[in-house]
Amino acid sequence: MLILSPKFAMDFKKFRHNMHVFPGNSHFPPKFNIYENPPVDMDAKIVIAFMILIIASIAFVELGSENEIPAKIEIYSQTREAMGTTVTIAAVGSNEDQMYESIDKAFERIEEIESLMSTYNDQSQLSILNKEKNVDNTDPSLVYVLEKSIYYSEITSGAFDVTIKPVLDLWASKYGDGKPNQPPTQDEINDALRLVNSSAIIINGTSVSINEGMEITLGGIAKGYAVDEAARVLISHGVENGFVNAGGDGFYFGTKPDGKPWIIGLQDPEKKVDPVTVMTLSGKAVTTSGNYERYFNDSARVSHIADPRTGYPVSNLISSTIIADSALEADALATSVFVLGEEDGLKLVESLEGVECLIITPDKRIVRTEGFEAYETVDY
């Protein structure tokens, strides 16, 4: 979902005339979200996390001088519902047909990934793996995402673990209409935790197997992978400048039509007009994971992100924002840092090359890694 500051609302009205907006797949019920196992997904993202601040020169050449912007270069964009969220894909260029064809291909790639990695689609390879505990001839994309999932589990000492689904399902059974709205017992949590172990995912070529009782959800990483793949498709079709944003998971490459980097604002937790920070990005991804937008229900106020090591929801931070070279990495690390908390989360990010982080603590302090400021701007 794109959110613009009021300052640029009139310009966005013009921008929307250059967008094709699709209502999405109407046969999916509102709860359909392959990347968020209700209610406590360790990876659920703040859908309204980012504001893309569109300045007057971004969409149409008439808004800038001919000396600065080639006469026919515009931004072409489509917004559709996919992966249980709003996805916007934008391409900058002079050939309208080529730009929209590239965008269509990028959405097709997202749909392919969704059909492979959905836990709501009984025919997806991930669902078959969860049911049968073994899949041969696994699609290379699923193998890749599982391998990366194991890697992030290792470097976070288990703070990120895609085998957390039994824990998520346990909490989901406790909260909601007609449910007790009471936390599970410690014995129930311990039983679920025995099934959480990414190291038990066995990959042998294209054959993948898991232990009896285990189940996988890729909510904390698959959406980032889909964003990366959509951007790759754009670039492979000759798009040199554009972005893909899926509910706050974004990858931005090249520049806006005026030659300047893309501008992304991080929404204030208290929903004030001014963003917490504004970033300029090119060839980078950014993702926020947080606890100030969604809860299981208003009365319980239970975090939607659970710690795979303890089985309990976490509230160590209000949010964690990651800038990285890929949306997959930003996706996984945003959740990991949120689970790890301030000290361990920042220590992890500082140990990784090409990754920066901004966190908001429960007492509303804003803490950055050493290199985060290089991406911030006040000139927007």
Domain residue ranges in the chain = 6-119+220-375, 125-209
Task: Name the pTM for this structure.
Answer: 0.82
CATH architecture of 6-119+220-375: Roll (3.10)
C-alpha to C-alpha distance for 364 and 361, rounded to whole angstroms: 5
Residue tagged 């990784």 (tokens): 352
Q: Taking Cα atoms as reference points, which of 250, 231, 228 lies closest to residue 239?
A: 231
- β-bridge mates for residue 26, sequence order: none
Q: How many CA atoms lie less than 13 Å away from 122 in the CB half-sphere?
A: 0
- DSSP state letters, 120-131: S-TTSHHHHHHH
Q: Please tell me the predicted confidence (pLDDT) of residue 22.
A: 27
| 67 token code pair | 């000396």
Residue tagged 């073994």 (tokens): 134
30: CB partners within 8 A, 6+ apart: none
Decide: 358 and 267 in contact? Cβ < 8 Å.
Answer: no
Query: Which superfamily is assigned to 125-209 in CATH?
Result: ApbE-like superfamily (1.10.3980.10)
pLDDT, averaged per 10 consecutive residues of the chain (380 residues), comes to: 33 32 28 35 42 39 46 90 95 96 98 96 97 98 98 98 96 89 96 98 98 96 98 98 95 96 88 87 95 47 80 93 98 97 98 97 95 92
